[in-house]
Structure 1
Amino acid sequence: MVSMTSWLEHYGYALIFTALFLEMLALPIPGEMMMSYTGLLVFEGKLNWLLSIVAASLGVSAGVTLSYWIGYRFGNTLVTKYGERIHLGEERLAKMTSWFEKYGNKLLFVVYFIPGVRHITGYFCGITRMPFRKYAVYALPGAVFWVSLFISLGRVLGPKWEMYHKTVNRYMVIFGILSAVLGALIYIYRKNKQRLLESILSLIKKGIRHFNSLGKVRFLVLVAFVVFVTCVSLMLGLIQDFLAQEFSQFDEIASYIILTLFGPEWRQPMEFFAVLGSDVLYASVILVTALWVLFKSRKKLLELSFFLWVLVGGELLDEGLRALFHRPGPVVFGHQWINTFPSEDTITAVTIYGFSAFLLLRHAGKSAVAIPVTLIVILACALIGTSRVYFGTQFPSDVVAGYVFGGVWISLNVLLLEILRMLQKNKKTGRKTE
């Protein structure tokens, strides 16, 4: 660390540019470590944050651009001569090129987070003759995002960076892989939207014939299904980590970042954010949602009954989970909070705000309100969880677990509600036919 920081202090932005430029040409230079140490020097006031990001972005951009043109100019010749030695003949290259044309550009933005892969991506895009404009549109913004994130993390973590470096890198790799998978799924969904909708809904309805009668609700049901599968997977991982007692380092890093980003001057705003999870606001949202259902829904009794079940059942689920895991919470001013896993506040927020938003969007006349309502719900839940960590009443892992368990609960009930609704409709249709 001493030699690298001294080199950085000596040569500054020129070293940042050169090191990242060479790393993108596949030279064995630790770019992530370089950027994190750069962030540490930014924290110490020895380098400028914005200039560091500019120098790093230019270095990475120049490196990936040169590697692309090297692959474009010499790649096919090398594959023809030596490809068979590494099992990369012309036929296999043609297949990989076809695949890359369909999916590859979608992965360029996040490929920087995957060590080893980012070093060869530029060469491979050139070899496969991906149009440079398309390559640049995805690769260059990805470069800026990658360097900005790592330098900013180094700046935020400051002197604790070295302690957390391996853990942060692991989370970044996971983030990169998940982002790549998510990008591929979004692309596949867009290309096969109608077929996927029909397939998934046919499984949910289990043979019910009135698929087209769902109208705009199809998308909400699909989202609920994806959220359910995702949250169940995360839930199993959380339970495994809880049993293995692997939350301590995550809690320490996340708490440190939040308290560093939001200093003492944020106390008053955080108190306001905490009010978003108050009983008064929850009661107001529940009342408005109930009135909305009474005014808009044709299945008033079914939806109100289900809404009540979601609220009561969510509370029982929360109490049961916290009693089951029985995790001691943080100690604040000599007082230790008990049974904080999963967070009661975030699981309640996700349950009430999430299911209320579903009922609102299901009967909304304009689909344009979907994005604003969704963003408001996500922001409100995020602010509630952040305020709990800021005031030290809950661990970050408690908050995350609340989001995950709450997501499982509301997505499951959205699916059940739509299945019941369709079963009722199918039953009425059958009686009329008779």
Structure 2
Amino acid sequence: MLDLIDRFGYLGVAGVVFVESFGIPAPGETAIIAGAVAAGRGHLDIVAVAVVGFLAAVIGDTIGFEIGRRGGRPLVHRFGRYVRLTPERLDKVQGFMSRQGPKIIVVARFVEGLRQFNGIVAGLSGLPYRTFLAWNAVGAALWVGLWSTGGYLAGDHIEQIAKTLSRYAVIAVAVAILAVIAYLWRRRRKSTVGGAP
């Protein structure tokens, strides 16, 4: 991603965030962090990275909103499988959004899976566009602000941070696997002991 942003600059940040925001799975957070790291190294301007990321997120979500509003469920049922939006997943996300109201638009920006379908589901649910736009802008500003600030402050240390995080992720996965194995073994042992004559 750093190479992509080095090559395409602001256009690379905007493109990745834009397509992710209207429903195509893409690494939007990573693009913003890479743009911010490039700004920390002096290759880009951090304010421009944040503004471009914000605009791309809001415009992308608006397109997603229009897709949901105009195309409705038939369109999502027909093409949703190509972007991992199954009817079951759509029902869950739509139910969650109806229960939680517009504030979920802000929270969804920080949740992988919800972020990509935020606009589409809001359009499907009949939410007024002005309400969606206001909450979406708040969510996009917070999301872009967090990742651009984090990437900018990480600067040249981003590779070291990524290596450290991946090392701890491997340890966490290993511990989780061992915990599941221990749980299954204890459960099997209890059922064998309990079922013995």
TM-score by length of structure 1 reads 0.34
CA apart distance, 1:166: 8.2
> In the alignment, which residue of structure 2 is the partner of 1:135?
132
Distance 1:50 1:151 in 2: 9
Q: Which has the higher contact order (CA 8 A, sep 6+)?
A: 2
Cα deviation, 1:191-225, whole Å, max 9, x if unaligned, reads: xxxxxxxxxxxxxxxxxxxxxxxxxxxxxxxxxxx
> In the alignment, which residue of structure 2 is the partner of 1:104?
101
> In the alignment, which residue of structure 1 is the partner of 2:156?
159
**Size of the alignment, in residue pairs?**
161
Distance 2:127 2:62 in 1: 12
Residue 46 (structure 1) aligned to one of 35, 38, 43: 43
> In the alignment, which residue of structure 2 is the partner of 1:57?
54
CA apart distance, 1:44: 0.6
CA apart distance, 1:78: 3.7
1:27 to 2:24 alignment: yes
How large is the RMSD of aligned CA atoms in angstroms?
Answer: 3.0
Cα deviation, 1:348-386, whole Å, max 9, x if unaligned, reads: xxxxxxxxxxxxxxxxxxxxxxxxxxxxxxxxxxxxxxx
Distance 2:3 2:79 in 1: 42
Contact 2:20 2:60 survives alignment (8 Å): yes
Residue 15 (structure 2) aligned to one of 14, 18, 33: 18
Contact 2:65 2:123 survives alignment (8 Å): yes
Distance 2:77 2:10 in 1: 40
Contact 2:23 2:120 survives alignment (8 Å): no
Contact 2:103 2:135 survives alignment (8 Å): yes
Cα deviation, 1:252-309, whole Å, max 9, x if unaligned, reads: xxxxxxxxxxxxxxxxxxxxxxxxxxxxxxxxxxxxxxxxxxxxxxxxxxxxxxxxxx
CA apart distance, 1:38: 1.1
Structure 1 segments (4+ residues) deviating >3 Å: 76-83, 85-89, 99-102, 165-168
Contact 2:36 2:148 survives alignment (8 Å): yes
Cα deviation, 1:153-193, whole Å, max 9, x if unaligned, reads: 0110112223334888xxxxxxxxxxxxxxxxxxxxxxxxx
- Secondary structure at the counterpart of residue 130 of structure 1: coil
Distance 1:112 1:28 in 2: 13
1:77 to 2:108 alignment: no
The within-5 A match list for 1:261-340 is none
Contact 1:79 1:88 survives alignment (8 Å): no
Contact 1:101 1:130 survives alignment (8 Å): no
Contact 2:40 2:153 survives alignment (8 Å): yes
Contact 1:36 1:161 survives alignment (8 Å): no
Point out where structure 2 has 5 or more consecutive residues left out of the alignment: 81-85, 166-174, 176-197
TM-score by length of structure 2 reads 0.70
> In the alignment, which residue of structure 2 is the partner of 1:117?
114
Cα deviation, 1:391-426, whole Å, max 9, x if unaligned, reads: xxxxxxxxxxxxxxxxxxxxxxxxxxxxxxxxxxxx
> In the alignment, which residue of structure 2 is the partner of 1:37?
34
The within-5 A match list for 1:366-405 is none
Bigger radius of gyration among the two: 1
Distance 1:14 1:117 in 2: 24
